[in-house]
Amino acid sequence: MKIKIAGYKNRVNNNSGFELAYIYVSVKRYLLWRQQMKIRCLIFLISITLCINNKLTAQSDSSYAINGTVTESETKQPLEGVNVFLDGTTIGTTSDMNGFFEITNVKRGGYVLVLSMIGFSVESKKIEIPQRKFKSIEVVLKPKSYEMPVINVIASVDDDWADQYKKFLTNFIGDSENAEECEILNKEQINFTVERKTGEFSAHSNEWLEIINKALGYKVFFNIRDFSVSGRGETRYLGEIRFSELESDSAEEIYKWKLNRLKAHKGSLRHFLSALWENKLFKEGFLIYESETPNWKDLTKKNSFVPDVKQITQNISDWEKGLAVSNFIKVVYLKESEDENFCDYRKSYGSKIESILDEQTSWFKLQQGFITFDKSGNTLEENRAIKVYGYWGWQRIADLLPKDYVGE
């Protein structure tokens, strides 16, 4: 490369060493600068390429589809109008006149596909997205048999239905502030029984319960497979659940739903598991302790062993992790205080603390010692695989969000 520097010839001939050194340094700096600029341009181009590839990958990850056909078991004819949805979500569709259905824009993960129609038994299938060789799903629905279980009862449906319904609301809908804004539209479909020897209280319904949650802005459909409250007061329930968004012309009401949903998510089991996935428990406001059993009397005790998160979790796939613990895990959420109505519940289990605490305390135990969960904090096993106590155990349907809810 030739660089012409005018006006320096005479000075060089006059034996000016200083000027020669200055020229040499200037040229060297220019060449170094040009080399640095080439490297920076190359890094910039690589970064842009990576961003584009990541965006395309993210778009392709959310473009999976589930499709299939549904027929009637006796006639083998296609069924039109069958509700087809992913359990616990707002994602779903209905079958057409040919019995065909398709759900699009499904993110990768594990799901339970549920199919239901009035007059037919509910069918469900576990699926994973994506699958290497995904095939169209064929489902057969059987006509439903309306039979009540044979149970020795001490109270009939008509004797004190109102009192039993009140007990059902407390244990199913819940007792939180959100529960106060919930209503079951078809409550007349619910039947109650009490087992004579154990005192176990049970609820049954031949139809899906339809629940309006005006606190969170959802209409909730729940199919009761099992609901009971033991003689000791332990509640368990199992069934399929579907969410749909409520509509409103009020900007104030929509904003209220947004805030309440975010509040319901913060500190929840799902929030905890998503923070565990990202290894950000403390940043998200969680402290965890290992314990032998839930200790309500010494609720504020925090000197038990803190398990190593890396030792209790393991990577299964790029969208799935495993959690393995044998003892109870105590979870304290520091960024939100207790609901006022939780105090009475806490005292009923032996807590001597009268005031509302500035933190929420829960326990959980894995029934089989292991569960799998995804990045969103959704567990891939049925609800009974993980047993919750404390604040999580007190919360019910009124505080439940769809699995596809994305917090802001």
Q: How far apart are CA 103 and CA 65, in angstroms?
A: 6
Question: What does each C-alpha distance from 291 to 24, 276, 405 come to in angstroms?
Answer: 73, 18, 31
pLDDT (0 to 100) of residue 157:
47
Distance from first CA to last CA of the chain, Å, rounded? 57
Distance CA 217, CA 261 (A): 8
As to burial, measured by CB atoms within 10 angstroms (0-12 exposed, 13-18 middle, 19+ buried), residue 59 is exposed
For 1, the enclosing helix (H) or strand (E) is none
Q: What is the pLDDT of residue 169?
A: 97
Cα 387 to Cα 379: distance, rounded to the nearest angstrom? 12
What SS3 class is residue 142? coil
Cis-peptide, bond into residue 130, ω within 30° of zero: yes
Contact by Cβ (8 Å): 221, 208: yes
Distance (Å, whole) CA 178 – CA 181: 6
For 309-350, where are the E strands, in sequence order? 313-317, 320-324, 328-333
Buried b (16+ CB within 10 A) or exposed e, 164-190: bbeebbebbbbbbebbebbebeeeeeb
Check: CB of residue 164 under 8 Å from CB of residue 192: yes
Q: How many CA atoms lie within 13 A of 193 on its CB side?
A: 15
**d(C-alpha 149, C-alpha 226), whole Å:** 11
State the maximum Cα–Cα separation within the chain, in Å, rounded to a whole number: 121
Contact between 233 and 258 under an 8 Å Cβ cutoff? The reply is no
Strands 137-141 and 64-72: parallel
Closest CA to 203 of 178, 175, 239: 239
In tens digits, the chain (408 residues) has pLDDT values of: 444 444 444 444 554 554 555 454 555 565 566 666 666 665 555 555 555 555 444 444 456 899 999 999 999 999 999 999 999 999 999 999 999 999 998 988 889 999 999 999 999 998 888 765 556 899 999 998 755 544 444 444 456 899 999 999 999 999 999 999 999 999 999 999 999 889 999 999 999 999 999 999 999 999 999 999 998 888 999 999 999 999 999 999 999 999 999 999 999 999 999 999 999 999 999 999 988 889 888 777 766 777 778 888 999 988 899 999 998 999 999 999 999 999 989 988 889 888 999 999 999 999 999 999 999 999 887 777 899 999 999 999 999 999 999 976
What whole-number distance in Å separates Cα of residue 15 and Cα of residue 322?
A: 78
- Neighbouring residues of 45: CB distance < 8 A, sequence distance ≥ 6: none
Q: What is the DSSP letter of 189?
A: G
